[in-house]
Structure 1
């Protein structure tokens, strides 16, 4: 009976330790899980694109360009405001949707080690799993007089997303991939604005722009961080040439250190309790 009692005690102690470690390491393994999910979606997207003929891909991109042309004369913020609250738009959803799951492309930011799927819309559901395309902005296929807006969360405990977007600097490049076509953009403006200020997202005649958007300051989310890039020539292998600006994940490191400390502390305490009971 005494052996069984000790085994139960040990099981409880180790069970509590395991549960505590799961909670403490949640940011690390949750982010890893989300990265794996994003990688799977990106892989599936590329397979779906590879399964389409070159003519089909050209036709789909041409449709997106025609859609963008209709947006040129729309004024900001009215162009966004009139679409606010619309959950389904058949024309919009039918464009750049090769997998049929709402994924329209991929955004890659090598400087901060980010690669995310881009989905139609920017609803909470969409932003939990990747980046969203702002409905009312140009579709991300490039072209003159186009301005695409891509947004993603920052500071989620479960995923990195655009958490390190503030690490980008003027001159850094990011890349958009749509239907097998890769486009490079060089950062030329970094700005913080209020959520209702959309003037910096407007289309500028003759320019090909993409703006990446996330909340700021970190943990407060009272403003929006806008990182704008203009199109530059893309050459294969450009991604690996980008400088890195990776923030040290102090929160994860502190969680790991705290977890190890608590695990050792609980183990020592359990040993002492068993010894005291044995006297």
Structure 2
């Protein structure tokens, strides 16, 4: 491990009946490019009365990206979007000035049959000039997500640009999110293929970095924008996040992101006063938790 890299271990956090591993933000690094929050969901066994049920809650100043390896999530939000996200699909909700949404196990999986839930949800901060934009929801089906192979190694460009390719997802700043799957031990070329800061999340398998092994559940962050190639062991899956920094510090308060601290305080009050738009036909409400501005 060199002094221009940071090693991050997942920290558990509860979201109802579901426990996630939180990878970002950390004290040493609040953002990687525009990415400001990364949650690893599972792998967890659901079913037989245990489901994902995240009631109506708000977001501002960011886009949420949901990407699954296993299981399904029924996404509904105040723009009217109603979409089941399955493995390989990309769900991308941009909150802008204000949005609310719910995330639940879809009805057809609420049976006595158990299933595995596994995926990631990441938050991408919006540039200052777009923090008050109108909210929207985009969905890219798995068959429309760019994939290719280099030998036996498979690449999936979930969002943004990299390796001379571009995702059909409309994003609001230069970024990338990429899945890499290698069945064999090899060196994977990164330098010159991705632009900006970079975080390497080990989903399965491991990465060899000098004399250290980075294992599943850990994330390696480069402090510089020029990261050398990485060496992976056989049967490794990686998620790579990053891009160009937005140029301003962003602050977090619960589900709100902004470059303006005072704006976050007003958004908190607006949620407590129930001034946010609602998911059609949904009256659930998650109260604002006790927490400090970060």
Where on the TM-score scale, by shorter chain, does this alignment land: which range? under 0.3
Q: TM-score, normalised by structure 1?
A: 0.27
Larger Rg: 1
Give the number of the structure whose residues are more often strand, by fraction. Answer: 2
